[in-house]
Structure 1
């Protein structure tokens, strides 16, 4: 994410063959960075951005400490874990952390030497390799869903098996149909039983209700912020878009995310600046420092105002009926539907936010993103909303083709009226 991250990574690389020492140094560095982002944040940046940047690092730091930690995928029901005092960490976020320090080649190599196919998404290969490497402590549980990625089941099972940790897969049928809700609800109760076994305590349904009350307020705030985004925006780096979508999923239902949602409203209300070009980002951006960071810099004329994955998870959860509403939240997630539904969702979002165009980053190894990009391009073209598909890797910085990316983006921005 920054030159200092890469420098820190070069120091860590010297201890790649000593996982215990590597972990100690990484934990110390992440601890200092967590403290810096909390106590000495950039007062010139919006409060929302400072908060989500802090929460993103804190999530990984807690995983390094290793107490009451759960490794999850982006769309796991983290609320169940948070209610018991566990700290969820996105396995994809751990991959992003490695990538930000230019260290992803180490777990990728380890995954390859252990028979993990190179055709698998690098988010998954990096998190699996990191688990094999043992630079992070053993998690209490590994939880994933079948939403969005067909590789989740196998990848997260590998992570759990490498640690000897309990594994739970939530099967969410594709189609977003009401009749699927009881099936998913039963699985959530089974997960609760497993959590009770792990913690040796009865599940705290009262605490879960409180988390869902906070989540309900957070969702309401984000919809208020979305109305403000129609005409306003705040300056964000691409990696901060990634930080935001991570914490919005894994920390849904926390007081910290509720606070962040309140800050977002205040930041947008106070915003006096607006870019010449407002873009909607589809799927996810690369996490490592790359040519796109400069192009879409907060100091430039072209801003990415939001990512589609800020909004997929929003659901009016009901604290009085927590398990059923969490099951509904999973079943009705737009990513659990068809590409046609996703296309309509994105067109509505693009229209609502009055964007100048959309950029879809098709991450190599992600069949979902690459497979749907062609259809999405046709839908956006029909609506006369400029659309650009970029292909590349979000994790492996060695695969970046900086010149090609810059050339394609420059041509796209020229169509939108941006002159260098």
Structure 2
């Protein structure tokens, strides 16, 4: 297995150590993984899942592409046109009805090999559901920390897979803190879709599939929803690999979309910041400031006020000439209804990118956006006071 490496201070740790974050700066890990070029001509005869890209995946077996026992057939989702220049990739057709299966299968396969005493995750939605499903597939004991007020439909799905739910009073940030404290216990594998880079190596297959389906090309623009940034960072990773191996001759612009109600990254990007602003120093005698509350939004899956990989997300968008767009609640609701009337019933978070594209002058060339979560998970409801990731 490859080592973890901290992108901030370059501290390293073996994957086998179950160290979920950098012990020096407590930041998320990257993975010291150098994949080989994926041969486009040989893909037609390979297994019909994301494991077909064996050369690019850190947990793939050597030799011919093999499907690990935790696989549920994830990947290879359809690409359909919405307009003459805009297409949608239907990642809500994954086994647990969201794109998070791409990363969750990697985390579960890693945990299966490490044989921890327990797997824990934190989420109020799709990531927790995906981790629960793949842990069930792998026969792993799993607990998912969720904030109070989590969608009943998502709680039902998590519990149906046999995972225990630990309901945490407070918001999404409080839930993450509780899970991280539990992750420090001996023998625990933290299946974090934010801190563990194996998740990003799973989500990067989104772009590998586009590259294959478009005959060795990539679209001119990739529009991606961003909360914790796991899909965008995976996409940036794939683009860098494909370009570095000489398999594409241009890098698409990454356009990141946030809900107007919770848009810390968009604000930082347009202010020219390299990271989110930290808290102002206070006298030792002063009480600790309360964290800022997220405003209500329909797009609960991207309502993340303080994403741990903020600096990496901002850097990735700038490096490819991309930008950030924000969308108001009315536009998200209208986009969700418009997609439903086209036969595509997705959750509000999944509609955010279509809302942004509809409200923005078209960029030159071709554009692809993901429809990354099924509407059956949330329905067509009013805005809530929950945030998720």
TM, length-normalised to structure 1: 0.35
Name the one with the larger helix percent.
1
Task: Please tell me whether Structure 1 or Structure 2 has the larger radius of gyration of its CA atoms.
Answer: 1
